[in-house]
Amino acid sequence: MRKLLFALLLASPTLTFAQGSQVNTQGIRALGMSGAGSALFVDETSIFYNPGALSKMENNAISIGASAVMYRSAFKELDSDVQHNTKFQVTPPFSVFATFGPKNSWWKAGIGVYTPFGGAVDWGTEWPGRYELNHLSMRAIYIQPTLSFKLTENFGIGGGFVYNLGSVDLSRSIPVFDQHGNAGRAELSGVGKGMGFNVGVHYNLEEDFAISLSYRSKVNTKLEDGDAVFTVPAALGTSFPNTKFSAELPLPSSFNLGITFPMGEKLDLAADATLIGYSIYKELVFDYENNTPVLTDTRQPKKYENAFSGKVGLNYEATDKLDLRMGAGYVYTPVRGQYVYAETPDNNRIMGSVGFTYNLSEKFDLSGAYTFQRIMERTVKNVETQLQGTYKTNIHAPGISLTYKW
């Protein structure tokens, strides 16, 4: 039982990086269209969405954006009428994009700092899955220098190197008790580093019709010298030693196809389809610096599958200064039912969004957006923990960004 507990405990960071914590708020304009717009928006956020479009920018710019991701999940154990809810928390993913280069030139350079993975969840210590998870907070920050080249007036290519700095902090209860009946506690934290790349091409078939193709590689993030701290009765201290651990946290690749075309003089439609390479999660391996009969190195099968998302949005030029947006999307989960965990109780999800951009002046733009995601209700039994019940989750994500152009 204890060996199983520790295997699950130290697998949690990878599960968190893997699925439900994927953040799609890098560009607030695209957020207003549920993440569509890789072919439509040719601006500094193309560093993330499609580096090939960056060289088509007429000016240079810097934008700073942030979102307030509010993740609320509920769980009801099988044959129980009691619903357990996560505590209210706000996770603030951010992004900074800047471009440099001559105006109307054949090349453009840029750098992006953004958070494509992140999140926080707190179930507390009284719910049925407390031995699976109490709380979790994680973030992956990508730093991406980028170069883009315009080979013709219609065709642009580009790419960037990605450096990831990731952090994770989690805790869960341990089924050992002190003289007052308080359960033990395990806390894990660590920082990981990894590298990857982002490439793309952008092609205008006509002035207002464009196609976008981009590929973001997987990023194998190596977490070394993480801290594992255990609060247990003194008599069990030798079986639960504070120690270090290491692991590899693979963040998935993605291949994206985007198109955009006019629906009218002031109305544009954009659509994006993305294949996400979650099948890299075949197993999780963890190496503990100090082993005991209870704390042994673990190897767990996960058998994730690749996932797909489709998003569509409309951009309407309401006035010379104001653009309005709306969008919708659907995302298929890569997580099989028997591998659903409380960190990210995932399932297929639907989303809807609205947004705007207002030109404050010739040099400043203000953009805002709001996206709602509904993760479909799912009744599961975890193959490892045997926790069985129904999860339902809502995600609210308002965001805002300010852009300066020169």
Residue 44's pLDDT is 95
**Backbone phi, psi, residue 31, to 5°:** -60, -35
pLDDT tens sequence across 177-216: 888 888 999 898 889 999 999 999 999 987 789 999 999 9
Cβ neighbourhood burial of 362 (10 Å; 0-12, 13-18, 19+): exposed
State the Cα torsion 43-45-50-52 to the nearest 10°: 40
Other residues' Cβ atoms within 10 Å of the Cβ of residue 222: 14
What is the bridge-based pairing of β-strands 90-91 and 94-100?
Answer: unpaired
Complete domains list, the chain, with CATH: 2-405 (2.40.160.60)
Q: Which amino acid is at 311?
A: K
Cβ neighbourhood burial of 261 (10 Å; 0-12, 13-18, 19+): middle
Beta-carbon contacts of 139 under 8 Å, excluding residues fewer than 6 positions away, are 93, 115, 117, 118, 166, 167
Residues in the chain, overall count: 406
The reply to whether the predicted model has a pTM over 0.85 is yes
Please choose, from the candidates 254, 158, 155, the residue with its C-alpha nearest in 3D space to the C-alpha of residue 211: 155
Please choose, from the candidates 35, 56, 33, the residue with its C-alpha nearest in 3D space to the C-alpha of residue 44: 56
Residue 281's pLDDT is 74
Please choose, from the candidates 166, 285, 171, the residue with its C-alpha nearest in 3D space to the C-alpha of residue 229: 171
Residue 228's pLDDT is 86
d(C-alpha 351, C-alpha 395), whole Å = 9
Residues of the chain with pLDDT under 70: 1-23, 283-286, 297-301
d(C-alpha 129, C-alpha 126), whole Å = 8
Residue 19's pLDDT is 42
Residue 178's pLDDT is 86
What is the bridge-based pairing of β-strands 298-301 and 283-288?
Answer: antiparallel
What is the bridge-based pairing of β-strands 298-301 and 69-77?
Answer: unpaired
Please choose, from the candidates 342, 317, 328, the residue with its C-alpha nearest in 3D space to the C-alpha of residue 271: 328
pLDDT tens sequence across 246-302: 877 788 899 999 999 999 999 999 999 999 998 887 766 667 788 787 777 666 667
CA atoms within 13 A on the CB side of 292: 14
Residue 71's pLDDT is 87
In Å, how far are 6, 54, 156, 169, 241 from 244, measured between CA atoms?
13, 43, 47, 14, 10
Contact 56, 103 (CB under 8 A): no
Residue 10's pLDDT is 39
d(C-alpha 6, C-alpha 237), whole Å = 15
d(C-alpha 66, C-alpha 187), whole Å = 29
